[in-house]
Structure formats: C-alpha cells, structure tokens
Amino acid sequence: MSYLPYGVAAWLFLVGLYGMVTSRNLIHLVVCLSVVQSSTYVFLLALGFETGATAPVFYDVPPGTPAVDPVVQALVLTDVVVGVTVTALLLALAIQEHKRFGTLDPHELRAMRG
C-alpha cells in the first residue's frame, strides 16, 4: 500500500505513452501527452508527502509545524504551467496540420510535403 502512489505515477506514464503510440488522432495524442505529464505531478507530490504533515503554509499554524516538502510543490507548479503552454502549442500545430492536409490522423502523414 505504501508504494501505491508511485505505482499510479508509473501507470499514468505508461498508459499515456501507449495512447500516444497507438493514437489515430492528433488531438487525442496531445491529451495522451498531458496524461504522461500528469504522472510527474503524482510522482513529485508523492515524494514530498509526509504522513501527518500539513500544507507548507504557516498563516494559521505556528512555524515549526511538520509540513510537506514545498520544493516539489513548486516544481509541480512549474510543471503544470509548462504543460499547459506546451499543450496549447501542440494544439495550434494540430490545427495547422488539419488545414494543410485535411486530416488529423498521424498515420496519414507519411508523405510530408514541404
């Protein structure tokens, strides 16, 4: 039980990769990439978690109260923002792709025209 969150992270990573490899639609592929990215959120937050500890905010609890690791939380914050912007960029690429080739299926893109 105590390794379950790590297992969830590994599962999200692999299942997202599987979706990307077998994807027949670029929008679906971008969503699968988001699933892969979310595995890093789960993994980082699980690493910093401490049983019985509170959130690393000391506004209404005295300083010195056991709190979870704020460093990994800050990393996840960075991760989320970068994830959103990468998703936006890839979706814009998908729109361009659909305009140029009239399809969203990556399998039909074998003959790329310049």
Q: Which of positions 70-109 make contact with other proteins (CB under 8 A)?
A: 70-74, 77-78, 80-82, 84-86, 88-89, 91-93, 95-96, 99
The 3-state secondary structure of 67-93, one letter per residue: ECCHHHHHHHHHHHHHHHHHHHHHHHH
CB of 99 to other proteins, least distance (A): 7
Q: Does 21 bind other proteins (CB under 8 A)?
A: yes
Q: Does 31 bind other proteins (CB under 8 A)?
A: no
Q: Radius of gyration (Cα) for the chain, nearest Å?
A: 19
Instruction: Measure the CA dihedral 2/11/75/83, to 10°.
Output: -160
What one-character DSSP code corresponds to residue 54? Answer: B
Residues lying near other proteins in the complex (CB under 8 A) are found at: 2-7, 10, 13-14, 17-18, 21-22, 46-51, 53, 55-59, 63-64, 67-74, 77-78, 80-82, 84-86, 88-89, 91-93, 95-96, 99
